[in-house]
A and B are shown apart, each in its own frame.
Chain A
Amino acid sequence: MISKKVVILLSTLLAISPIFGIYLADLVGYHEPLDIVAEGLGLTEEEYTWTPLKDYTFPGLPNWLGYIVSGAVGVLVIIATGFIVKHFAVVRK
C-alpha cells in the first residue's frame, strides 16, 4: 500500500523532526503569526485536554523521543485509515 521509498522518506523526516520541532523551536522560542494575534487581542487558550499525546509528547519519554514516537503513531493512524477505506470502500479497480 505504501512503497518502500515513501517509508524511507517518512522515517528520515520523522528522525530529523525533533531537531526542528523541539531543539530549534526551544532555542529561538516557537512563535507563529497566530501567537502574535493572540497577544494583540489578549486571547488565552482553554487548558483542557483529551489526549495523553498532547503537543506531540509521549508519556514517560524525553521530548525528542516522544516527538518521534508521536509522529510515528500519527503516521500509523493515517495509514490504518487508508487501509480501512481501501478495504471497505467500493472502488473501481
Chain B
Amino acid sequence: MHIPDGYLSLPTALTSMITTFTIISLAIHKVYRGKSLTHERISLLTALSAGIFVAQMIAWPIPGGTSLHLVGGALAGIVLGPWLGMISMALVLLVQCLLFHDGGITALGANILCMGITAVLSGYTAFKLLKPLVGEFIASVISGWLSITLAGMMCGVLLSISWGSPLPTYIMAMWHSVLGVLEGLITGSVITYLNVKAPHILGGLK
C-alpha cells in the first residue's frame, strides 16, 4: 500500500503532507503534554515500532492474485492508544521511506495519512466501541480488518482525486476488504497473546 513517487498529483501530495504534518504534530503535542509518557511507554513504543517494521517485511504472496503483509495500524492503536499509535506508525513509515525507498518521498504524507492515521484511528475506535459488545478477540479482529479496509480505501481515494477516476477507490477498497481478514486475525491473535502473557502492557485497554 506504500504509494511511490509519481502516483499522486501535486495538489493531492501537498494536501496530504500538510494534513499529516498537522495531525502528527498534534499527536506529539498531546503525548508530550499528557501524563502517560513514561520510560516504559517509550520502551513499548520502540519495541512495537520495531516489531511492526519487521512484520511488514514478511509479505505473503498469494499465487495468481496479490500479495499482503501486516500493516499494524490497529495493533499500534490498541496497544499504545491513538496518539502514540500514530507516532509509532509514522516512525515506521519514515524509516521505510528514508532508508529503503519503500514509499515515495513526495507520497510520505499520503502514506502516513493512510497507514499511520486512518488505520490507527479506525482500528482504535472500532476496538473501543466493540470490545464491550463482543469481547476482546472479536473486537480486535474486526478492528484489524476495518483498519486495513479503510486505509486501503483512503489510499484509493487519494489516487482517485489525483486522476479523476473512481477506479482506484473501488479496487483498493475491494482488495483490502479481502486481505484485511488476515490483518484482523493477526491483530486478534497478538492482542489475545499479550493480554494473557503480559497484561500490564495492555493498560491502554481499560
Contact = CB atoms under 8 A, between A and B. Distances in A.
A2 B46 contact: yes
Q: Please classify the interface of chain A as helix (H, G, I), strand (E, B), loop, or mixed, using the class held by over half of its residues.
A: helix
Contacts of B176: 33
A74 to B, nearest CB: 5
A25 B99 contact: no
A20 B59 contact: yes
A82 B45 contact: yes
Interface stretch (B33-41, B74-82, B121-129, B137-145): B33-41
A17 B57 contact: yes
Contact of A46 (B62, B65, B95, B104): B104
B172 interface: yes
A10 B64 contact: no
Interface in B10-50: 32, 35, 37-39, 42-43, 45-47, 49-50
B35 A79 contact: no
Contact of B49 (A43, A49, A78): A78
Contacts, number: 175
Contact of B39 (A3, A24, A74, A93): A93
A30 B95 contact: no
B152 A33 contact: yes
A86 B66 contact: no
A37 B167 contact: yes
Contacts of A1: 43, 46
B172 A37 contact: yes
B5 A45 contact: yes
A83 B45 CA distance: 11
B192 interface: no
B187 to A, nearest CB: 16
Contacts of A63: none
A62 B102 CA distance: 19
Leading 9 A-B pairs by shortest Cβ distance: A82-B46, A33-B175, A46-B6, A46-B5, A54-B101, A45-B4, A28-B61, A37-B168, A28-B63
